[in-house]
A = this chain, B = another copy of it.
Amino acid sequence: MLTERQLCILEKIINLYTSHGQPVGSKRLVEEPEIQSSSATVRNEMSLLEELGLIEKTHLSSGRVPSLKGYRFYIDHILHPNELKKDQFQSRSLEREIGQNFEVMDELIQQSAVVLSKLTNFTAIVLGPETSQSRLTGLRLVPLNDGQVMVILITDQGSVENMIFSIPRSVSSTDLEKMVKLFNDQLVGFTLFEVVYKLQNEMPLLIKQYATTTDQILGQFEQVFLQTQNNRFHISGKSNLLDLTSNMDIQKVKSLLDLMENQMSLTSLLSGSKESISVRIGEELDNELFANLSLVTARYSLSDHGEGILAVVGPTSMPYDKTIHLLNTFRHELPELLLKYYLTE
């Protein structure tokens, strides 16, 4: 176990490094009022912390920099989670920051990503609430031109999805009408998860009884439902990544920017942790592109209406305390706002 003084020194090193970006030396540390000892003592303690792998030198005679293990220790043992309660950001309410006029839930979510990236100066990713647990409250089918139909899904979460698809000429319009009626009878009230299951198993048999020409179309309907799982991503502040990648070679920065536009990659990145707030640092993310980046994610929950994710991508040397505080505020306030405007059951 570390002594009080060692903890204090580690914390100071991390605070100074994350705020100024320069390796921290013993001389700099004794300027801190909390540290009473002489620089020689501090040096002794530092070489001990280095032996433990919590800090490291950039070269033989440089100041110290926190190691991955050091950050990990800091987050797990120094940043006590109970400090999260007295949160200085709680005061600047999310609601005041983002205004109040939103036609659809997605706008509000997008806007909270914008605020999150503005407040951190990093890249913010916000995932709308998972829809597979939300219930279908309505299904509309709007004929457009010849052969094109828009399907609209309405859920109890206030989300509205729409998709346009083509209908083979072989499908008669009466068959289509029958199908829609059937869908409304059979699917409304179930969760999207269940709906997809029914589409794959029960519906084909049922439909056979009513109509004959609909085989090809059923798969397309299924796609619409699966589609609702995507389009949950809202990103803001992508260009802030450039501040963090000045040492990286251009090809990698390009890959990183491209990754931010690829929902598949983002999903696997964000789905890594199940905790309410998680911090993954550099190599822990197991992705070469994130060697010098950290990902802080927070889950928010709309009670029975599924979960969403808030995330910030910043440098490994980010101010974790501030970021965690901020995400903790958002994960409480965003669901409140969403419930207030859209989920008035």
Contact = CB atoms under 8 A, between A and B. Distances in A.
A323 B254 CA distance: 22
How many monomers of this chain does the complex have?
Answer: 2
A142 interface: yes
Given A137-B145, A145-B158, A243 B250 contact: yes
Nearest to A341: B166
Pairs A-B, 9 closest by C-beta atoms = A239-B254, A239-B257, A103-B165, A104-B164, A144-B154, A140-B142, A239-B258, A242-B254, A103-B164
Interface in A78-128: 103-104
A184 to B, nearest CB: 14
Interface in A164-184: 164-166
A160 interface: yes
17 contacts: A103-B148, A103-B166, A104-B164, A142-B142, A144-B152, A144-B154, A144-B160, A145-B158, A150-B152, A150-B162, A238-B257, A238-B261, A239-B253, A239-B254, A242-B253, A242-B254, A243-B250
Contacts of A165: 103
Nearest to A259: B239
Interface of A: 103-104, 137-138, 140, 142, 144-145, 148, 150, 152, 154, 158, 160, 162-166, 238-240, 242-243, 246, 250, 253-255, 257-258, 261
A164 B103 CA distance: 7
Nearest to A141: B142
Contacts of A152: 142, 144, 150
Interface centre among A152, A253, A258 (most CB of B within 10 A): A152
Given A103-B165, A242-B253, A160 B150 contact: yes
A106 to B, nearest CB: 9
Given A140-B142, A145-B154, A242-B250, 20 more contacts: A103-B148, A103-B164, A103-B165, A104-B164, A137-B145, A138-B145, A140-B144, A142-B142, A142-B152, A145-B158, A150-B152, A150-B160, A150-B162, A160-B164, A239-B254, A239-B255, A239-B257, A239-B258, A242-B257, A243-B254
Nearest to A137: B145
Contacts of A243: 250, 254
Contacts of A103: 148, 163-166
Contacts of A150: 152, 160, 162
Contacts of A137: 145
Nearest to A238: B257
A307 to B, nearest CB: 22
Contacts of A239: 253-255, 257-258
A255 B255 CA distance: 19
Contacts of A104: 164
A138 B240 CA distance: 43
Contact of A240 (B140, B238, B254): B254
A145 B153 CA distance: 11
